[in-house]
Amino acid sequence: MKKIETTIENLKKDIAAFYKPELQHFMVMNAVDLGEKIEVQWFFSNYAHPCETICFYTLVSPETEIPSIRDIVVSAWVAEAELVDLMNIKV
């Protein structure tokens, strides 16, 4: 798996530059509670063999509002809604 660190300020720009719907599949969004910080993760998989997984991630405080990527990846609303519900993350 390839991990790419980003920031809240650059998240949408970085994902928009990377994501090509004909080449990658948005898999899921995840959050890991690290105590004082939360690691928010966006997972993609390449369609072509060897189907590499790419994870964009950023570390934020629990109060930080995460920008939505729905305008880039339409189906991301499902993963975003789950994190709002499960982790009380603001999107």
d(CA 21, CA 11): 17
Give tens-digit pLDDT for 17-76. Answer: 999 999 999 999 999 999 999 999 999 999 999 999 999 999 999 999 999 999 999 999
* Whole-number pLDDT of residue 55: 98
Q: Is the pLDDT of residue 87 over 90?
A: no
| Mean predicted lDDT score pLDDT of the chain | 95
The pLDDT score that the predictor gives to residue 38 is 95
Query: Rounded to an integer, what distance in angstroms lies between the CA atom of residue 40 and that of residue 56?
Result: 8
The alpha-helical segments, DSSP class H, found in 8-91 are: 11-18, 76-87
Report pLDDT for 17: 98
Alpha helices by DSSP H, the chain: 11-18, 76-87
Alpha-carbon distance 19 to 23, whole Å? 8
pTM of the entire predicted model: 0.94
Confidence of residue 8 (pLDDT cuts 50, 70, 90): very high
pLDDT at 86: 87
Burial of 68 (0-12, 13-18, 19+ CB in 10 A): middle
Helix (H, G, I), strand (E, B) or coil at 49: coil
